[in-house]
Structure 1
Amino acid sequence: MEFRDLEIFQLVAEKGTITEAAKVLNYVQSNITSRIQKLEKEMNTPLFNRHRRGMTLTPEGKKFLTYSEKITLLASEMKKAIQSKDEPSGKLEIGTIETVFQLPNILASFDKKYKNVELSLYSGVTEELEGKVIDYQLDGAFVTDGNFSPEIIAEEVFEEELVLISGSHVNAFAAIEEEPVLCFSKGCGYRARLEKWYKDNRIHPNKIMEFGTLETILRSVVVGLGIAFVPKSSAEHLINSGLVSTYYLPEQYSRVKTMFIRRKDTYLTITLEKFMETIRANRNIEIHSLKY
């Protein structure tokens, strides 16, 4: 039994057809078929039910999938554990909320120093990213501080101030109950804080409009579509140019920490360790610049 056969099996289980798996891997279909048949012969049982619409796992196949995922995950951990301590390499998959203002500096510093690392970045809201870290889909993630799972280790990266903004022709406070609230989807830490403020003050927003990117939210506020609760650093240029009006909420709602999270039980690879060192170095630079 080869690791590659297990990976192919998992992909067929995910896609549901030999054809789709072959497209992803750029293999001929007969190659995929023969590898699946080889596994079934070794296990002495059918792993898939074949039908016109594709393939579905048998009860034995479902059990096999659970074990095969554990095996391939362990193999991946093994490779990471024996990496060179001098030169990090391999893949590093990091998640981030949309509003980490300092992220470009962190990525640039890391990429320039560690050329052999293939860094992939995925964006989402805090709740979604935490779930992906727990499910081993991400090595780590930048998220808003919150009540994390016991499986998570969190380290503070930055602290920011959130501010309520509206179009320049609208008083931000007066617009609280009249204008639509422009925000990310449920699971966003900033949205949760604003909703708590609304609830604590018995205020009912007029309408909630969900967006996928911070840039779209900011542009929509400028043209008068609604109000938004965003990090002041990300809206500083709009505030300074007079394109938006601002309203400051009490500190318990407006002060927010950005955390870097990872799974507690996973091996801290040299690649992830160096990435975290880069985060700390950039955080120290930020703190130093604020002092002076």
Structure 2
Amino acid sequence: MDLHLLNIFRTVARLGSISQAAKELQYAQSNITMKIQQLEKSLQSPLFYRYNRGMTLTDKGSLLLAYSEKIFHLIEETEAAMKDDQTPGGSLIIGSMETTAAVRLPPFLSTYHQTFPKVDLTLKTGPTEQNIQGVLQHQIDGAFIAAPVEHPALIQKEVFEEEMVLITDTKHPDISSIEDIQTDTILVFRSGCAYREKLEHWLHQEGLIPAKIMELGIMEAIIGCVSAGLGLSMLPLSVVSKHIQEGSLKQHSIPHPYEKVKTVFIYRKDRYIPASLTAFINLLPEKVKT
């Protein structure tokens, strides 16, 4: 199959427009149209639905796009493997939950950067599910996520164990049972967050429907709103211990088996592991408890 045609197809699929693809690839629109028609004829299947204002993939087009991404990623991986002299360098993109990035990673990342200064290290934060998909789709090289995770394409290494606590403002009464929070607003990260899923699972198991769930995008917003008395949340003790000690938050214990969450580092088992990622993995600490 002609890689040149596949690249044109990928570009049109990504942009959803012949004109936009022609502009990016610096080709005439008629040339792009002819190439797509040539590919469709070769595969004996329409790849796009055409509209006045753009194009969308057919089922066959979506399938071809998935295979195309794998093909081009494999080519890029092959080139990287051939150029890799086993000296850590180049780009390394790591994903992480925001809480882990804020509390656990700074000393480790500083050590890595000082030890391997030729590596262009990028850290991207997001919820666990987003990080898993990022690794699976080759968008990031590895990620710190909340366990458990079970996927045949992933390798995982346990690095942290977090103690989870409920946090409220300091005036909130002590919480002795799940019923004590049934009228509270629950403050959570967006969908895909493992901590949110664990809290919601606990509430579901107890048959409790929260009065209100408020979704906030960043950790600082959750902590600030809880401190102001807007509601309660569940976060790792390592994240909120400073605020508790300073007297701006109040912690409440969580019963077994909801009080512990393991953090693991994941990466693909079916990809070439560059020296930069190997060095990163080797530098990871053994499991650290709160």
Deviation at 1:112, TM superposition (A): 3.0
The answer (yes or no) to whether the contact 1:172–1:227 under 8 Å persists in 2 is no
SS of 1:197's partner is: helix
Which residue does 1:250 correspond to in 2?
Answer: 255
2:269 & 2:213 partners in 1: Cα distance?
Answer: 36
1:208 & 1:60 partners in 2: Cα distance?
Answer: 40
Which residue does 1:184 correspond to in 2?
Answer: 189
SS of 2:257's partner is: helix
Which residue does 1:109 correspond to in 2?
Answer: 111
Which residue does 1:94 correspond to in 2?
Answer: 94
Q: Tell me, yes or no, if structure 1 residue 119 matches structure 2 residue 124.
A: no
Deviation at 1:199, TM superposition (A): 3.2
| C-alpha spacing 1:68/1:204, structure 2 compared with 1 (3 Å) | closer
Unaligned runs of 5+ in 1: none
Letter in 2 for 1:184: F
| C-alpha spacing 1:33/1:86, structure 2 compared with 1 (3 Å) | farther
The answer (yes or no) to whether the contact 1:164–1:172 under 8 Å persists in 2 is no
2:50 & 2:271 partners in 1: Cα distance?
Answer: 37
- TM score, norm. by length of structure 1: 0.82
1:143 & 1:56 partners in 2: Cα distance?
Answer: 33
| C-alpha spacing 1:109/1:200, structure 2 compared with 1 (3 Å) | same
Deviation at 1:10, TM superposition (A): 1.2
C-alpha offsets along residues 109-159 of structure 1, whole Å, 9 cap, x if unaligned? 223333333333322222232233223332211100114223221110111
Which residue does 2:198 correspond to in 1?
Answer: 193
Q: Tell me, yes or no, if structure 1 residue 55 matches structure 2 residue 60.
A: no
Q: Percent identity?
A: 37
Which residue does 1:274 correspond to in 2?
Answer: 279
1:252 & 1:74 partners in 2: Cα distance?
Answer: 42
Deviation at 1:240, TM superposition (A): 0.4
Q: Tell me, yes or no, if structure 1 residue 227 matches structure 2 residue 243.
A: no
Unaligned runs of 5+ in 2: none
The answer (yes or no) to whether the contact 2:81–2:274 under 8 Å persists in 1 is yes
The answer (yes or no) to whether the contact 2:18–2:32 under 8 Å persists in 1 is no
C-alpha offsets along residues 27-56 of structure 1, whole Å, 9 cap, x if unaligned? 6463x7646645755786586565531234
Matches within 5 A, 1:1-292: 6-21=6-21, 25=24, 28=26, 30=28, 34=31, 37=34, 41=38, 45=42, 51-57=51-57, 64-100=64-100, 101-171=103-173, 173=175, 176-280=181-285, 283=286
2:119 & 2:32 partners in 1: Cα distance?
Answer: 31
Deviation at 1:213, TM superposition (A): 1.2
- TM score, norm. by length of structure 2: 0.82
